[in-house]
Amino acid sequence: MTRTMPSPSAAPRALNAAPGVEARRSPLADLCADCDAVTLLPPLSPPGEGYLRHFCQLDSPLAVFDLDDTLLDGDCTGMWMRWMAACGWIEDVDAFMAIGERHQSEYHAGTLDIHEHTGHLLSPLIGRHRDEVRREVDDFVEEMVMPRLLEGGIARLAEHGEAGHRTLIISASMHHLVGPIASRLTADGALATHPAFDDQGRFTGETTGIVTFREGKLAALDAWLEDASQLKRAPQALWGYSDSHNDLPLLERVDHPHATQPDAPLRQFAEARGWPVVDWRQSHLSIESD
């Protein structure tokens, strides 16, 4: 439906706010000229002449971000492996890291056995209590992860939030890492592979639920959307950001896919499809503790 753009001189009013309360505009959102509802603008561009695509407040769009090499300059799993080594949790560090490097190469080649990888990653944690590990994860996030965030990615995450969109971080890394990072970034949730625990809350070395790798990310997202639908909060528009060709099933699922710092196969695919290609590796953002 064609909408007339509001006059630039008219101050926008915040959704459900009293007259005179101004709404913050961002490149991703504006206000409906007719009903003051938040509207979603075309991706990475100003609105077309007189056109706004209207979304009801209950249909809040959802933005899904990969973590490693998308929001983070690097791989949090590899960083965590080095952290575990520094904790003294790994007996043969050289052998352990060599396997990790092989897995990283296989990931980029599209040949990774994700079950072998998760088993390897969880092996130093077997028998350790989740609280002990969480204390180390909290320190790890503050000291290793936060200084390596990509400023452009964090700004885009914030823009989606300011536009009234929900945000999820979805990663092939383990949930005991991704969950605290997503919380630190104030995302609305995290989808990642969950480790299994015994009755005493100790790591078993196994995983439970959906393994969020390749098609598994799409399965986890679909499960999340099904839960949202049952709560009558299903988003009517999906945005997606990733750097890897391994996430093609996910990017093909969303309405607005973005290739961020893409590997060569994803770049080729994105350019062929006309997807936006962005590079957030030009600067970093360190978020200070409150």
User: Looking at the annotation, which residues are catalytic?
Assistant: 66, 68
Q: What angle do CA 191, 193, 199 make, to 5 degrees?
A: 115
Of the candidates 281, 243, 246, the one whose C-alpha atom is nearest the C-alpha of residue 259 is: 243
Q: How far apart are CA 1 and CA 225, in angstroms?
A: 27
Contact (Cβ atoms closer than 8 angstroms) between residue 244 and residue 265: no
Q: How far apart are CA 160 and CA 78, in angstroms?
A: 28
Q: How far apart are CA 194 and CA 177, in angstroms?
A: 10
- Give the up-direction half-sphere exposure of residue 286: CA atoms within 13 A in the CB hemisphere: 5
Element (H, E) at 78: helix 76-86
Contact (Cβ atoms closer than 8 angstroms) between residue 254 and residue 237: no
Contact (Cβ atoms closer than 8 angstroms) between residue 249 and residue 221: no
Is beta strand 166-174 parallel, antiparallel or unpaired with respect to 189-197? parallel
Q: How many CB atoms lie within 10 A of CB 224?
A: 16
